[in-house]
Amino acid sequence: MFSPQGPSLRELAVQALSSVERGYDLLAPKFDHTPFRTPDSVLDAVASALRRIGPFEDGLDVCCGTGAGVGVLRQVCEGSVTGVDFSAGMLAVARERVPSGLPRVSWVRADARALPFRPAFDLAVSFGAFGHFLPRELPGLFAQVHSVLRPGGCFAFPVVAPPRPGSLMYCMLLGFDLVMRVRNAVWRPPFVMYYRAVRFGDLLRELEGAGFRVHLHPLPEFGRQRDGSPRVRMVVARRLP
């Protein structure tokens, strides 16, 4: 699952017993060698889909980590690009790895539940971070993203169809969530990371509740499931003017 440059089992265990913020500080130097970083295939597909509905002026990557989504924004935004994350360690790696150039990139350390921006962005993206939020935190998170977008601005992120019940992937994710629930019941600080806590329908309802109009764009690069539905979609939530 991990490359030789990735974290050891012991390092992962120490990280998982920390808070989310501290855990990512510790993981940061090896994060890009883990499967937790969004794969390039997903980033490329989202960039292509955004190109079809762009261009955009100023972009924000929410929970940017080491800068995976910032690379996408640099392709589709003509103005500034900002990455925001609460882990100083992840931001330090991002600063080293993402080349400077145009559009201008800046990094901000902040909690996504309290974004320190005015409505200054035309596009916000987020990759691989919603598992760190409890279902009850989603309305607040989406309200924050809504508040930093200019009227008409978009919040876009990919969503993978849930695995078929009984499949190997289904059992692995279920097992992971169970372990995390036990860990969080007996250990402080909590490390919130659940794969199956938020349902797709809830996600869409909360976005609409926050004042977005939602459109779904299938990402054709990932094909379709047996029932014909797309394997991966890009959600585009537009802030109503």
Q: Which is nearer to ligand SAM, 15 or 149 (CB)?
A: 15
Answer for the pair 66, 72: CB distance below 8 angstroms, yes or no.
Answer: no
From candidates 7, 30, 38, 73, binder to ligand SAM by CB under 6 A: 38
Q: Which is nearer to ligand SAM, 86 or 142 (CB)?
A: 86
Beta strand pairing call for 149-160 and 232-239: antiparallel
Tokens of 152: 């008409």
Applying CB under 6 A, does 47 fall inside the site for ligand SAM? Answer: no
d(CA 144, CA 132): 16
Report helix, strand or coil for 150. Answer: strand
Answer for the pair 113, 144: CB distance below 8 angstroms, yes or no.
Answer: yes
CB of 111 to ligand SAM, least distance (A): 4
CB of 89 to ligand SAM, least distance (A): 8
Stretch that binds ligand SAM, among 36-44, 154-162, 178-186, 199-207 (CB under 6 A): 36-44
Q: Kindly provide the residue ranges of all beta strands, DSSP E only, lying in 63-164, ordered along the sequence.
A: 81-85, 105-109, 121-126, 149-160
d(CA 59, CA 20): 25
Applying CB under 6 A, does 111 fall inside the site for ligand SAM? Answer: yes
CB of 210 to ligand SAM, least distance (A): 16
Q: Which is nearer to ligand SAM, 40 or 213 (CB)?
A: 40
d(CA 236, CA 229): 17
Q: How many CB atoms lie within 10 A of CB 79?
A: 17
From candidates 2, 36, 176, 200, binder to ligand SAM by CB under 6 A: 36
From candidates 47, 49, 64, 154, binder to ligand SAM by CB under 6 A: 64
Q: Which residues bind ligand SAM (CB under 6 A)?
A: 20, 24, 36-38, 63-65, 68-69, 85-87, 90, 111-113, 127-129, 132
